[in-house]
Amino acid sequence: MAPATASAITLTINGEHHTLTVDHRTSLLDALRERLDLTGTKKGCDQGQCGACTVLVDGRRIVSCLQLAVAAEGRAVTTIEGVADGEGLHPVQQAFLDLDGFQCGYCTPGQICSALAVLDEHAAGWPSAATDDIRPEAGPPELTPEEIGERMSGNLCRCGAYVSIVQAVARAAENTTGSAAGGTTKEPAA
């Protein structure tokens, strides 16, 4: 008997369960966009180099073009569609809007998802390659433009809106309390 090449899986996305049958080779990005109509997550390079497809899985950022959909089963996926609280924008979204952190907007969903994770990683004391003092007792470094630029370096912007993106992340850091990413990951419906 030939091995199965497709499986029925249930994905939990923005707190909602979705059951679908996918070819085992289907990326999470393609499952989101092509099967579930969640087209906010963008496909840029489709090979892990641009960050346009960034989503959060269990609160951590990943590039969804390199994640198999079957590997996301049982985990909480947050896409850009799940970041706002109803009509209320998340502080990260508001900061991008207020400070023109985009031009064409194609990279923006990935930038925002990545920024959510950056704020949580920074709050947890994770150093970056731009951190001078990486001793745990030194605590989280100041979120300077260099720190933000390094931490957001996996997200490319063809429009070159980097100056405004860095400013938006800095503004969001001032206006975000608690878990930036975790706070927007809704609990699955029972």
Query: Among the candidate windows 12-20, 140-148, 151-159, 174-182, which touches ligand FES by CB under 6 A?
Result: 151-159
Q: Which residues pair with 88 in a beta bridge?
A: 85
Name, in order, each residue with C-beta under 8 angstroms of 176's C-beta and a sequence gap of 6 or more.
91, 92, 119
- Count other C-beta atoms under 10 Å from residue 77's C-beta: 28
Site string for ligand FES, 15-54 (x = CB under 6 A): ----------------------------xxxx-xxxxxx-
Query: Among the candidate windows 17-25, 69-77, 92-100, 102-110, which touches ligand FES by CB under 6 A?
Result: 102-110
> For residue 20, how many C-alpha atoms fall within 13 Å in the half-sphere facing its CB?
22
Is 106 a binder of ligand FES (CB under 6 A)?
yes
Residue nearer to ligand FES on the CB measure, 11 or 63: 63
Percent of the chain as helix, strand, coil, to the nearest 5: 35, 15, 45
What's the CA gap between 113 and 127, in Å, rounded?
19
Is 102 a binder of ligand FES (CB under 6 A)?
yes
> Which token pair is 2?
């030939």
Site for ligand FES in 131-150 (CB under 6 A): none
Is 103 a binder of ligand FES (CB under 6 A)?
yes
Number of residues near ligand FES (by CB under 6 A): 23
SS (H, E, C) 143-167: CCHHHHHHHCCCCCCCCCCHHHHHH
Site string for ligand FES, 56-85 (x = CB under 6 A): -------x-x--------------------
CB of 139 to ligand FES, least distance (A): 31
Binding site for ligand FES (CB under 6 A): 43-46, 48-53, 63, 65, 102-108, 157-159, 161
